[in-house]
């Protein structure tokens, strides 16, 4: 089900991009994320990488990989997801994604994850600084991820 939904979202973005292809703008947006995740009353350091490919000035798709080493009472959590992004105004980016949360430790397990996110890019000397807020929905509970992504586009 998750794969079908993700395929539909990516197909829509690709179809839209063929109609609204950007002209000469940068398309690749890799970044490093540093922040924190709050879940069940605990806030833990989170770091990761992200990548977005912009199909047009308004639409992009990408992947996110995040690690929270001390989450789940020290067992650690890894988040992997694919997202679709809408850029409705200036450097505002709204995202929706699907993926998984993998919990380590003595009883490792994997849960499906849905994410909604918002960020705004501030440009300084060719580098984007993007304060980011995301909400992860996992098995009926919500984790809040907040921090900053440092992005270099090309």
> Given the DSSP bridges, would you call strands 77-86 and 59-68 parallel, antiparallel or unpaired?
antiparallel
CA distances from 72 to 25, 112, 115, 147 (A): 41, 16, 19, 19
Residue 15 has pLDDT above 60, yes or no: no
Q: Which fold has domain 2-151?
A: Porin (2.40.160)
CB within 8 Å of 92: residues ≥ 6 apart:
118, 119, 120
What is the mean pLDDT of the segment spanning 67-83?
96
Give the pLDDT confidence score for residue 16 in this predicted structure: 41
Tens of pLDDT, residues 95-153: 999 999 999 999 999 999 999 999 999 999 889 999 999 999 999 999 999 999 999 99
CB within 8 Å of 6: residues ≥ 6 apart:
82, 98
- Long-range contacts at 108-112 (CB < 8 A, ≥ 24 apart): 108/75, 111/138, 111/139, 112/2, 112/138, 112/139
Q: Which of the 8 DSSP states describes residue 14?
A: H
**Selected residue with higher pLDDT from 90 and 17:** 90
Residue 12 has pLDDT above 50, yes or no: no
Residue of 51, 63, 47, 73 whose CA lies nearest to 115: 63
In terms of phi and psi (left: phi > 0; alpha: psi -120 to 50; beta: otherwise), the region of 152 is: beta
Structure token pair of residue 69: 């080493």
Tens of pLDDT, residues 54-70: 999 999 999 999 999 99
pLDDT confidence band for 10 (50 / 70 / 90): very low
pLDDT confidence band for 25 (50 / 70 / 90): confident
Task: Report CA dihedral (106, 48, 82, 44) to the nearest 10 degrees.
Answer: 50
CA-to-CA distance for 92 and 114, rounded, in angstroms?
A: 20
**Selected residue with higher pLDDT from 133 and 5:** 133
What is the mean pLDDT of the segment spanning 89-97?
97
pLDDT confidence band for 78 (50 / 70 / 90): very high
Give the pLDDT confidence score for residue 18 in this predicted structure: 40
Residue 19 has pLDDT above 90, yes or no: no
């Amino acid at each position: 089900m998750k794969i079908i939904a993700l395929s539909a979202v990516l197909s829509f973005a690709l179809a839209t991009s063929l109609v609204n292809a950007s002209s000469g703008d940068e398309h690749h947006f890799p970044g490093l994320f540093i922040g924190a995740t709050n879940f069940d009353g605990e806030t833990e350091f989170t770091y990761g990488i992200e990548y977005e490919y912009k199909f047009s000035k308004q639409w992009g798709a990408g992947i996110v990989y995040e690690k929270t080493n001390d989450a789940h009472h020290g067992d650690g959590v890894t988040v992997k997801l694919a997202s679709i992004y809408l850029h409705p105004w200036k450097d505002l980016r709204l995202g929706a994604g699907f993926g998984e949360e993998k919990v380590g430790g003595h009883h490792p397990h994997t849960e499906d994850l849905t994410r909604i996110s918002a960020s705004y890019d501030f440009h300084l000397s060719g580098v984007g600084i993007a304060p980011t807020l995301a909400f992860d929905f996992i098995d009926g509970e919500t984790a809040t991820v907040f921090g900053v992504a440092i992005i270099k586009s090309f």
